[in-house]
């Protein structure tokens, strides 16, 4: 039997390589106890669920709650208190979740057709970033010049954040996600962004534009439901949700393609393979792997385990995405695999609201980057880079490239 929690290291477990899951995922998933109680780095314990079918089942089960402010929520790293209470609808359950998610979803930025309308602007943004890379000349940090900038600029455009403020936000983001900063600097940056977003929301209240925040304010006011603080929280959720994840995918996505040169050549020769390649990159890399945690609101059976009311569940998406019961030869990167049923965007009612934005961004970046800089390569081997490992979002701090 391998059910003893003390045999496993404290969770979160670590990737040995950005392109491979922590060894413990397969070890637990393929054992006779794929739902396992483990100690967390925060001193709590929680159930880690590793099989695709069980993860999907829990994500679709109304008894599993996203209440991030709940005292039993299975945090595995320390999170600022404000992120628990002021997290907007990602941390809520129906009926509140449904009401507010729909307010956002119907304010016209997330559906397929709206994203299609934004495509030309996204292409311009990607081209501008690559122009700058070419002007700077190699070596260039791909994270700073492309992976951070593209999603930030796109999200600013959607939210109606003026161009002149993007440099300020970019510098805060670099402090927050850039890796070279102290805890105090990060706390200050959170504070500054918070104040900025509040001023932004107030300015949209007084002088609405064509942007998402203005449209959401109007929608909430029309229904007599407007609350400034909640609007600030929602804006922050969209900013953060729309940024760090996509940054990670662009950077380690490019890395993965560069590490598979034969497949990359095929991709360059056949740009119509790009949408499928993006799906495979999402499956293979699963950067939001640790973003899906829940708390049981009732006793619930998960596989062989009876999870008790109040216990936490951590649904490791990258393990599901490498489950051999669902994906043949799951640890092989195959850009022509042709599967979209991965859980990189979650599943069920919290399924990523920005998934079409993210997919489109990634498609444009992968097509344009390798067309414009066909000789792109890593200036440092991946093993020499620093990673955000064991964080809610996986990622790389810097990735120098040359050509």
Partner 1 sequence: MATVTYRQPDGTVTVLDVPAGSTVMRGALTNGVEGIEGECGGDGICATCHVYVDHSPVPLPEIDENEGELLDCTSSPRKPNSRLSCQLPVTEELDSLVVTLPATQV
Q: Could you list the residues that contact ligand HEM (CB under 6 A)? A: 66, 89-90, 101, 237-238, 241-242, 245-246, 249, 287-288, 291-292, 344-346, 350, 352-354, 357-358
Q: Whose Cβ is closer to ligand HEM: residue 292's or residue 367's?
A: 292
Token pair recorded at residue 97: 């979740």
Q: Whose Cβ is closer to partner 1: residue 176's or residue 349's?
A: 349
Q: How far is the CB of 268 from ligand HEM (least distance, A)?
A: 22
Phi, psi of 20 (to 5 degrees): -130, 140
| Residue nearest to ligand HEM as judged by C-beta position | 354
Tell me, rounded to whole angstroms, the distance of Cα 94 from its chain centroid: 22
DSSP 306: E
Q: How far is the CB of 185 from partner 1 (least distance, A)?
A: 37
Choose among ligand HEM, partner 1, none what residue 112 binds, the Cβ cut-off being 5 to 8 Å by kind: partner 1
Token pair recorded at residue 382: 């991946």
Q: How far is the CB of 183 from ligand HEM (least distance, A)?
A: 25
Choose among partner 1, ligand HEM, none what residue 241 binds, the Cβ cut-off being 5 to 8 Å by kind: ligand HEM
Choose among partner 1, ligand HEM, none what residue 344 binds, the Cβ cut-off being 5 to 8 Å by kind: ligand HEM
Output the CA–CA distances (angstroms, integers) from residue 222 to 107, 219, 246, in the order listed.
Answer: 13, 5, 33
Q: Whose Cβ is closer to partner 1: residue 98's or residue 301's?
A: 98
Q: Which residues bind partner 1 (CB under 8 A)?
A: 56, 59-60, 98, 101-102, 105-106, 111-114, 340, 345, 347-349, 351, 353, 355
Beta-carbon count within 10 A of 229 CB: 10
Count, residues in the chain: 403
Q: How far is the CB of 245 from partner 1 (least distance, A)?
A: 17
DSSP structure string for 318-358 = HHHTT-TTTSSSTTS--TT-------TT--GGGS-TTHHHH
Choose among partner 1, ligand HEM, none what residue 288 binds, the Cβ cut-off being 5 to 8 Å by kind: ligand HEM
CB within 8 Å of 381: residues ≥ 6 apart:
none
Q: Whose Cβ is closer to ligand HEM: residue 21's or residue 346's?
A: 346
Q: How far is the CB of 56 from partner 1 (least distance, A)?
A: 8
Q: How far is the CB of 113 from partner 1 (least distance, A)?
A: 4
Q: Backbone dihedral region of 296: left (phi > 0), alpha (psi from -120 to 50 degrees) or beta? A: beta
Rounded distance between C-alpha atoms, residue 371 and residue 264, angstroms:
11
Token pair recorded at residue 34: 């794929």
Q: Whose Cβ is closer to ligand HEM: residue 66's or residue 153's?
A: 66
Choose among ligand HEM, partner 1, none what residue 102 binds, the Cβ cut-off being 5 to 8 Å by kind: partner 1
Choose among ligand HEM, partner 1, none what residue 105 binds, the Cβ cut-off being 5 to 8 Å by kind: partner 1
CB within 8 Å of 119: residues ≥ 6 apart:
360, 364
Token pair recorded at residue 150: 């593209």
């Amino acid at each position: 039997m391998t059910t003893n929690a003390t045999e496993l290291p404290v969770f979160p477990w670590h990737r040995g390589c950005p392109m491979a899951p922590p060894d413990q995922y397969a070890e637990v998933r393929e054992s006779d106890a794929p739902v396992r109680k483990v100690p967390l780095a925060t001193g709590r314990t929680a159930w880690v669920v590793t099989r695709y079918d069980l993860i999907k089942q829990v994500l679709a089960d109304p008894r599993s709650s996203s209440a991030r402010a709940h005292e039993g929520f299975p945090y595995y790293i320390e999170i600022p208190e404000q992120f628990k209470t002021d997290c907007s609808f990602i941390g809520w359950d129906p009926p509140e979740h449904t009401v507010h998610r729909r307010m956002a979803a119907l304010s016209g930025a997330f559906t397929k057709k709206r994203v299609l309308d934004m495509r030309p602007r996204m292409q311009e943004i990607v081209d501008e970033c690559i122009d700058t890379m070419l002007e700077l000349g190699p070596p260039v940090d791909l994270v700073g010049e492309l992976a951070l900038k593209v999603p930030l600029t796109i999200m600013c455009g959607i939210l109606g954040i003026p161009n002149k403020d993007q440099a300020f936000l970019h510098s805060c983001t670099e402090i927050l996600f850039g890796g070279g900063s102290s805890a105090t600097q990060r706390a200050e940056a959170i504070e500054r962004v918070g104040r900025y977003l509040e001023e932004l929301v107030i300015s949209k209240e007084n002088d609405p534009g064509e942007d998402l925040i203005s449209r959401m304010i109007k929608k909430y006011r029309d229904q007599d439901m407007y609350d400034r603080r909640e609007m600030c929280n929602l804006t922050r959720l969209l900013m953060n949700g729309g940024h760090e994840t996509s940054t990670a995918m662009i950077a380690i996505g490019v890395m993965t393609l560069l590490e598979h040169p034969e497949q990359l050549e095929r991709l360059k020769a056949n740009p119509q393979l790009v949408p499928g390649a993006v799906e495979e990159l999402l499956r293979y890399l699963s950067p939001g792997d640790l973003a899906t945690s829940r708390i049981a609101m009732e006793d619930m059976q998960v596989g062989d385990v009876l999870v008790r009311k109040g216990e936490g569940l951590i649904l490791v998406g990258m393990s599901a995405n490498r489950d051999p019961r669902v994906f043949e030869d799951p640890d092989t990167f195959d850009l022509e695999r042709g599967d979209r049923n991965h859980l990189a965007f979650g599943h069920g009612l919290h399924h990523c609201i920005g998934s079409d934005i993210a997919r489109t961004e990634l498609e444009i970046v992968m097509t344009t980057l390798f067309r414009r800089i066909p000789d792109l390569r890593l200036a440092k081997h991946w093993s020499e880079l620093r990673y955000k490992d064991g964080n809610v979002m996986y990622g790389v701090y810097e990735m120098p490239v040359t050509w």
